Amino acid sequence: MTLADVELVRFTPPAAERDGTSNRARQTAHALLRRPGFLIAVAYVVLVVLSAIVPRLFTSGDPTQTAPKDKFLAPSLSHLFGTDELGRDLFTRMVHGSALSIEATAISVGLAVVVGLTIGVVSGYAGGWADSLLMRFVDVLLAIPALLLALAIVTALGFGTVNVAIAVGVGLTPGFARVTRAEVLRVKTLPYVEAARSSGAGPLRVLRRHILPNSWGPVAVLAVLDFGTAILAVSSLSFLGFGAPPPEAEWGSLVAAGRTYLVTSPWLTLLPGLAVGAAVYALNHIGKTFEELQRWH
């Protein structure tokens, strides 16, 4: 579920970049630095993304290295998250698993942004029948609960990280389309756009130079929030068994694998899930902070 749409409240986007924004940028930076919660959230997200790109930075271990003697060890300094039924270090598996999970998240949000932005811009800018047609299509996508639509897509495409990512991305697309359209509609009628148009600027130029730069704000906030939504959706689908096949590890499949040992070794399920939840919470926090800042300006 995305709190994105529920949360998304209209606000004025930052004005054009040219007219002395360095001052505003400095103010914004100051406002952000005064928020320790925001900094912690950013730091955590950066760490997670880093772990996806260079897992070696965080652990020297091998995620598939089994050690039958060390199975089911509780979390300790040498095994931060404990070990699983084959004695594999869970922290190492989490860190290496973030590559697949973050990749899937990035693909789905990327897909949603590109397709949603295109639909939204065309719909808002062109208006008329193109607008009605596209928006009815978006309404239909919204009428199918996103996870179920994702299930249908996964059934058709087959299992695997990329297919799951595509399925999740399709579910996120309508949100982007709507928000972009609303922004374009709002900016389109502002006096300076009218001015640009009446002084002879072509539609593409108006779009590129005047409308897009001023309507990205809410879309960016939604993208940050949807990163969290996508992490949840991707890990849910992977938990249900539709992601990468073992021994590849994703966050969701790690929790699913540990589930069998919930009674005796609860850390196998609870710690990975906690790490995932923290990442989503951090993203939500970042998104909301941006939203608040933009509203003040």
Question: C-beta of 122: minimal distance to other proteins in Å?
Answer: 18
| Two tokens, residue 271 | 């710690």
Q: Which residues pair with residue 234 across a beta bridge?
A: none
From 123, 55, 67, 122, select the one nearest 95 (Cα to Cα). Answer: 55
Long-range contacts of 192-199 (CB under 8 A, 24+ apart): none
Single-letter amino acid, residue 175: G
Pick 49 or 240: Cβ nearer other proteins: 240
Helix (H, G, I), strand (E, B) or coil at 164: helix
Burial class, 128, CB count within 10 angstroms (exposed 0-12 / middle 13-18 / buried 19+): exposed
| Comparison of 192 and 281: residue with beta carbon closer to other proteins | 281
Q: Is 281 in the site for other proteins (CB under 8 A)?
A: yes
Instruction: Give the residue with the Cβ less far from other proteins, 3 or 126.
Output: 3
Distance CA 139, CA 223 (A): 20
Binding residue for other proteins (CB under 8 A) from 98, 101, 284, 289?
A: 284
The DSSP bridge partners found for residue 89 are 83
Binding map of other proteins across residues 187-206, x = CB under 8 A, - = no contact: --------------------
d(CA 211, CA 204): 10
> Is the Cβ of residue 288 or residue 297 nearer to other proteins in the bound state?
288
Binding to other proteins, residues 160-179 (CB under 8 A): 168, 171-172, 174-175, 178
Q: Which of residues 228-247 bind other proteins (CB under 8 A)?
A: 228-229, 232-233, 235-236, 239-242
Q: Pick the stretch among 62-70, 99-107, 134-142, 181-189 that binds other proteins (CB under 8 A).
A: 134-142
- The reply on whether position 85 binds other proteins by CB under 8 A is no
Q: How far is the CB of 119 from other proteins (least distance, A)?
A: 14
Q: Are 233 and 171 in contact (CB under 8 A)?
A: yes
Q: In this chain, which of 182, 221, 224, 280 binds other proteins, going by CB under 8 A? A: 280
Q: Which of 256, 257, 286, 293 binds other proteins (CB under 8 A)?
A: 256
154 vs 172: CA distance, rounded Å? 15
Query: Closest approach of Cβ 153 to other proteins, in Å?
Result: 6
Q: Is 43 in the site for other proteins (CB under 8 A)?
A: no
Is 248 in a helix, a strand, or coil?
coil
Q: How far apart are CA 137 and CA 133, in angstroms?
A: 6
Instruction: Output the smallest distance, CB 45 to other proteins, in A.
Output: 13
Ramachandran bin of 84, using left for φ above 0, alpha for ψ from -120 to 50, beta for the remaining angles:
beta
Interface region with other proteins, contact rule CB under 8 A, candidates 52-60, 69-77, 96-104, 255-263: 255-263
Interface map 135-154 toward other proteins (x if CB under 8 A): -xx-xxxxxxxxxxxxxxxx
**In this structure, what DSSP letter does residue 57 have?**
G
Element (H, E) at 288: helix 267-296
Site for other proteins, rule CB under 8 A: 1-7, 9, 136-137, 139-158, 168, 171-172, 174-175, 178, 228-229, 232-233, 235-236, 239-242, 252, 255-256, 259, 262-263, 266, 269-270, 273-274, 276-278, 280-281, 284-285, 288
